[in-house]
Amino acid sequence: MIRFNKSDFLNSKVLATIVISLISFLTNTLNAQILSENVHRIVFLGNSITYAGGYVNDVEAYFLSKHPELQIEFINVGLPSETVSGLSEPKHAGGKYPRPDLHERLARVLSLTKPDLVFACYGMNDGIYLPFDSSRFQLFKKGIQWLHQQVEESGARIVHVTPPVYDELKGKKIGYAAVLDKYADWLLAQKKAAKWEVADVHYPMKNYLEAHRKIDSTFGVDGFALAADGVHPGEVGHWIMAKSILLYLGQTAVAKAADIMSALDPERGERLMKLVATRQATMKDAWLTASGHIRPGMKIGLPLDEAKTKIADLTAEIKELIQR
């Protein structure tokens, strides 16, 4: 009989992480599209996960560090609670307001931001945390198809991002993980069926979660999670999302990076991340306020011109840092 000790399982955990990284690499680089010199503005659309901004910040910091010559502006206009399906729970937010619908603001966002490339991440809220229902699924697909058409008609390129994984152990909505599997599968199928660009974050996150939880459960540990509430990923989850997008964009050097810091210059990475996060925190609220939305409770951003003036010193420091 072969016996394993704890160190063997810990080594297996490391091995599982490496295997998952390779799966992510193979999946997201099959149709990798390296950014051209004509891409100067990248807009991120989505819900609270996008608004939180972790993966957006990671992507921006990586490109600033490795490709400063591209001079790309990264714009985060994620809106918490938003759907592309137009659906909302009857008592969403305790009955205070329905979920905002992207249909209400997309035209203004595209007109104001004038993107060359859009990353759109929807699905997490679109099944409204209920078991699978074909009518809700149809509304999700209809909304995504509308979004795709609107972005293309604006002249921008669009990359759809599969919804992040839902953790039923933490979120308690039994059956919802399977809903997001279906939503992700449909989006991935559009790569062949409709020739869409689709970057997968769902399965890299799901595989990572399952692998780590399986190892932890061997020792009676029930605490590992990418999202404490089952929905909103923490730092590791956001890095998996960013890494998947970077791999999709042909940035193969991140394949073995365990986190954003190991993907950046060790002497400048920490400072760069702080500067990027601070700049994004100011600008995302300014962009959201300027483009307009109907979700209550959001921070009112500075007028765009004032916000850009406020971040001027940050931008100058970032430029100096990446040119050293």
Q: By the 8 A CB rule, do 265 and 87 touch?
A: no
pLDDT of amino acid 23: 57
Q: How many angstroms separate the CA atoms of 211 and 225, rounded?
A: 11
Helix (H, G, I), strand (E, B) or coil at 226: coil
Structural domain boundaries of the chain?
Answer: 12-267
The residues with which 198 forms a beta bridge, in sequence order, are: 160
pLDDT of amino acid 15: 56
The residues with which 73 forms a beta bridge, in sequence order, are: 41
Q: How many angstroms separate the CA atoms of 113 and 278, rounded?
A: 20
pLDDT of amino acid 214: 84
How open is the CA angle 50-75-315, to the nearest 5 degrees?
A: 120
List all residues 6 or more positions away from 206 whose beta carbon is below 8 Å from its beta carbon: 165, 181
pLDDT of amino acid 28: 53
| Structure tokens belonging to residue 184 | 């992700």
pLDDT of amino acid 281: 98
Matching CATH number, 12-267, of 3.40.50.300, 3.40.190.10, 3.40.50.20, 3.40.50.1110: 3.40.50.1110
The residues with which 76 forms a beta bridge, in sequence order, are: 44
pLDDT of amino acid 3: 39
What one-letter code names the amino acid at 148? H
| Residue in the block written with tokens 């809903």 | 179
| Backbone φ and ψ of 214, nearest 5° | -65, -45
Q: What is the pLDDT along the chain (324 residues), one digit of tens a residue?
A: 333 344 554 555 445 544 554 555 455 555 556 677 789 999 999 999 999 999 999 999 999 999 998 999 999 999 999 999 999 998 999 999 999 999 999 999 999 999 999 999 999 999 999 999 999 999 999 999 999 999 999 999 999 999 999 999 999 999 999 999 999 999 999 999 999 999 999 999 999 999 998 887 655 556 789 999 999 999 999 999 999 999 999 999 999 999 999 999 888 999 999 999 999 999 999 999 999 999 999 999 999 999 999 999 999 999 999 987
